[in-house]
């Protein structure tokens, strides 16, 4: 990925670059969402895009998430490639009927005569002091709906490549952008490139323990791994990047190698995607290599608190990952 054109940009800029490049490439691609035009979106992702693409392709909508999702589904049905932005993932709840009962189903219910090539971009997660209705991570709802793909990139490079793949995919794709990742910088090539959706990546090699983490938990797991390396514990960090379809092979290979796995996500532990990952691992050939129980480190089963200390305590932080990974790595040694 290091080419002459590679430079350091933020995750937010990487998302914007993917959108701009795809819109320049394909006139069917357009954006719709609340305040995405002159204001540039709640987090500034589409800043400057109105000037280049005009109000026809950067479409501002009323405050109606159901309307946005319905319009996007209809446009996709008619051959457009809409990218809808939901200001906070929490408000996907309002668009659920359009997404779950319409967008996800049509291709199947009409026997493949139509497809719904749309992307649902949604800022997710806590850490900004935005309280319980603006901080959720609702990926587990969507992975349970056949017909929708779910992507949760953790780096600027992955964000750009995966968003381009999501736009070119002929299925509804939920594209989760963690709010705290927007400001993180990383190397991204200028030119357009795509990353296959079903491709997990080993973000760090290690022999003692695998941490499967996605979205904001990846940089936290990497920081934890760095600290544990100083203690002689070598952690391997695997980022599935795309939760559905899931690249199980990379995960199973890593766990088979290390024999121990910690699954980290921000969403509440109960019914969270970690349970699915645990079941995939336990049911695979990696089972025979497990030398400790599969452990999950996830958000507490509480609405995200407004108080900053409580907000921090509600989801796994670097020190929590360090402690959980250390305990797991040392078990029985």
Shortest distance in whole angstroms from residue 254 CB to other proteins = 15
In angstroms, what CA-CA distances link 320 with 22, 34, 70, 224? 39, 36, 41, 9
Tokens found for residue 69: 């999702």
Minimum distance from residue 65 beta carbon to other proteins (Å): 27
Tokens of 304: 């995200």
- In the bound state with other proteins, the residue whose beta carbon lies nearer, of 152 and 298, is 298
| 52 counts as catalytic | no
Q: What does the block give as tokens for 174?
A: 């939920």
> Residue 245: is the preceding peptide bond cis (ω within 30°)?
yes
Binding string, residues 238-267; x marks residues near other proteins by CB under 8 A: ---------------------x--------
Name the 3-class secondary structure at 235. strand
CA 20, chain centre distance (Å) = 20
Q: What is the smallest separation between the CB atom of 331 and other proteins, expressed in angstroms?
A: 6
CB of 296 to other proteins, least distance (A): 6
C-beta neighbour count of 187 within 10 angstroms: 15
CA distance 170 to 191: 23
Which residue is associated with the tokens 């995200």? 304
Distance of alpha carbon 307 from alpha carbon 138, whole angstroms: 21
249 catalytic residue (yes or no)? no
172 binds other proteins (CB under 8 A): no
**Closer to other proteins by Cβ: residue 46 or 137:** 137
Determine if 193 is a binding residue for other proteins (CB under 8 A).
no
Residues 279 to 318 in contact with other proteins, rule: CB under 8 A: 287-292, 295-298, 300-302, 316
- The number of helix segments (H) and strand segments (E) in the chain equals 12, 14
Of 269, 276, 284, 318, which one interacts with other proteins (CB under 8 A)? 269
Sole binder of other proteins in the list 12, 162, 324, 329 (CB under 8 A)? 324
Chain residues in the site for other proteins (CB under 8 A): 259, 268-269, 287-292, 295-298, 300-302, 316, 320, 324, 327, 331-333
């Amino acid at each position: 990925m290091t080419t002459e054109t590679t430079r350091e940009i933020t995750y937010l800029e990487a998302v914007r670059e993917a959108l701009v490049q795809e819109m320049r490439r394909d006139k069917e691609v357009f954006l719709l969402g609340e305040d995405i035009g002159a204001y540039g979106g709640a987090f500034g992702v589409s800043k400057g895009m109105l000037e280049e693409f005009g109000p026809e392709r950067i479409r501002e909508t009323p405050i109606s998430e159901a309307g946005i999702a319905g319009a996007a589904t209809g446009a996709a049905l008619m051959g457009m490639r809409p990218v809808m932005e939901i200001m906070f993932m929490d408000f996907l709840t309002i668009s659920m009927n359009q997404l779950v009962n319409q967008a996800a189903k049509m291709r199947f219910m009409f026997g493949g005569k139509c497809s719904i090539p749309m992307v649902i971009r949604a800022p997710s997660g806590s850490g900004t002091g935005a309280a319980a209705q603006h901080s959720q991570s609702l990926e587990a709802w969507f992975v349970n709906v056949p017909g929708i793909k779910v992507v949760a990139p953790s780096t600027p490079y992955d964000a750009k490549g995966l968003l381009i793949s999501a736009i070119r995919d002929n299925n509804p794709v939920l594209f989760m952008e963690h709010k705290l990742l927007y400001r993180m910088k990383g190397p991204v090539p200028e030119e357009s490139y795509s990353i296959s959706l079903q491709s997990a990546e080993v973000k760090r090699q290690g022999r003692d323990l695998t941490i499967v983490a996605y979205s904001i938990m990846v940089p936290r797991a990497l920081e934890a791994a760095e600290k544990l390396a100083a203690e002689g514990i070598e952690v391997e960090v695997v980022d599935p990047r795309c939760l559905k379809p899931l690249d199980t092979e990379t995960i199973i290979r890593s766990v088979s190698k290390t024999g121990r796995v910690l699954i980290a996500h921000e969403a509440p532990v109960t019914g969270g995607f970690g349970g699915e990952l645990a079941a995939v691992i336990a049911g695979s050939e990696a089972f025979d290599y497990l030398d400790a129980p599969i452990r999950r480190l996830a958000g507490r089963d509480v609405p995200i608190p407004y108080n900053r200390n409580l907000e921090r305590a509600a989801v796994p932080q670097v020190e929590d990952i360090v402690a959980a990974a250390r305990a797991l790595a040392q078990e029985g040694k």
